[in-house]
Amino acid sequence: MKVSSSVNNPFVNSVNGGRTAAAPSTGGSASGKSAVDLSPAARHLASLQNGDNDIDMQRVQQVRDAIAAGQLKVDASRIADSLLASVRELLK
């Protein structure tokens, strides 16, 4: 199914390839430019998209090898303590 831009709404048709064009003026002295302020949470999410937080594939392979060899030791109390600490941090 192909969706075409047959809508005659200038607000819908003003988006071009991921870049937003200025919306038609409704009067007044608007310059056609707009600014967006990101919340701290949005800035944090944007920072997570950079390459600094990639997965450590060497560590992943070490864990896979330990599982395959039956040598992986799981400390349930350490996992529980970490989960509780995480929940406490979220509840602050």
In a domain, 43, yes or no: no
In a domain, 92, yes or no: yes
In a domain, 62, yes or no: yes
Is residue 52 pLDDT above 80, yes or no?
no
Q: pTM for the full model?
A: 0.35
pLDDT, one tens digit per residue, over 13-32 is 444 444 444 555 555 555 67
Identity (one letter) of the amino acid at 79? I
In a domain, 47, yes or no: no
**Domains: count for the chain:** 1
In a domain, 76, yes or no: yes
Cα–Cα distances (Å) from 58 to 11, 27, 31, 32, 68, in that order, read 49, 59, 52, 50, 15
Domain extent for 66: 56-92
Structure confidence at residue 18 (pLDDT): 44
Mean pLDDT of the chain: 76
Cα–Cα distances (Å) from 28 to 9, 10, 12, in that order, read 20, 18, 21
In a domain, 81, yes or no: yes
- Say how far apart CA 34 and CA 19 lie, in whole Å: 13
In a domain, 22, yes or no: no
